[in-house]
Amino acid sequence: MQINKKDMTATLANKYLRYSKYTGYLYRKYKYHNNVVKDKRACRPCNNQTQQHLDVTLCGRNYPAHRIIWLMVYGKFPERHIDHINHIETDNTLINLREVSQYENNRNNSKRKDNTTGVVGVWVSKVNGNKKYIAEIRDLNKKKITKSFYTLKEAKSQRKQWEKLYNYHRNHGIVKPL
C-alpha cells in the first residue's frame, strides 16, 4: 500500500510502528510485507551524504525517522525543523528533539571539520605578514558583526559573549560526535 506523504497520519504511523521513548528507536509492530520483520528496528541510515539521520519506510514512502516520531508522539508533523540538541542525528529520544525555526536551528550547529581555530565564528587573517584573529557572528537582525583581535583567546572570548547575547544554544560549536 502506497500513500501520499501528505496523507500520513499519527494513527497510521502508530498502526505499523512502535516507538521506544527510552532508546529513541522505531520498531515494526507486525509483518505486513515480505521485507518486514515483526519487532525489528524499522530505521536505516539516510542515503544523503550531507546528513546522518535515520530514515524509515512507511506505506511505500521514505520519511526522516525523527519526523515520524514527532507525528506519533504529538499527533502532527512538525511545521518547522527538528533539531537534534546533542548533535547526534541518530539519537531520536524525545529529550534530544525540539521543533525550531531554521534561524534557531542555525544557533545549535556543530563545529565544522575544516575549522582551524577550534572556535566557531573565529578565523585567521594574514595580511602583509600580520596575523589577526577575526571573530564574527550574526545578530538577531541577521547582520554580521566582525571584530579583529591579536590573540585567539580574545577572539574566542568575544565570540562567546556574542553567543550569549544573541541566544545561541549552549551546545553551539561543540564537536559533532562520531
pLDDT in tens, 156-171: 898 888 888 877 777 7
Final residue in a domain of this structure, among 82, 104, 126: 104
- Say if residue 126 is in the same domain as residue 69: no
- Say if residue 48 is in the same domain as residue 91: yes
DSSP 128: T
Q: Once rounded to an integer, what is the mean pLDDT over residues 11-30?
A: 90
Q: Once rounded to an integer, what is the mean pLDDT over residues 134-147?
A: 80
As for how many domains the chain has, the answer is 2
The dihedral sign for the CA sequence 170, 106, 79, 60: negative
- Say if residue 37 is in the same domain as residue 86: yes
CB atoms near residue 149 (< 10 Å): 17
- Quick one: cell of 114? 575544516
Radius of gyration of the chain (CA): 21
Q: Say if 33 falls within a structural domain.
A: yes
> Residue 142 contacts by C-beta under 8 Å, 6 or more apart in sequence?
none
Name the pTM for this structure. Answer: 0.76
Chain segment 63-114, per-residue pLDDT in tens: 999 999 999 999 999 999 999 888 888 899 999 999 998 878 877 777 778 8
Q: Say if 63 falls within a structural domain.
A: yes
- Say if residue 87 is in the same domain as residue 33: yes
Q: Judging by DSSP bridges, how do beta strands 130-138 and 43-45 pair with one another?
A: unpaired
- Say if residue 97 is in the same domain as residue 159: no
What residues make up the domain containing 149?
A: 111-165
The backbone torsions φ and ψ at residue 161, rounded to the nearest 5 degrees and listed phi first, read -65, -45
Final residue in a domain of this structure, among 80, 104, 128: 104
- Say if residue 87 is in the same domain as residue 115: no
Q: Say if 98 falls within a structural domain.
A: yes
- Say if residue 9 is in the same domain as residue 75: yes
- Say if residue 10 is in the same domain as residue 97: yes
Q: Say if 171 falls within a structural domain.
A: no
CB atoms near residue 17 (< 10 Å): 21
Q: d(Cα 22, Cα 171) in Å, to the nearest integer?
A: 22
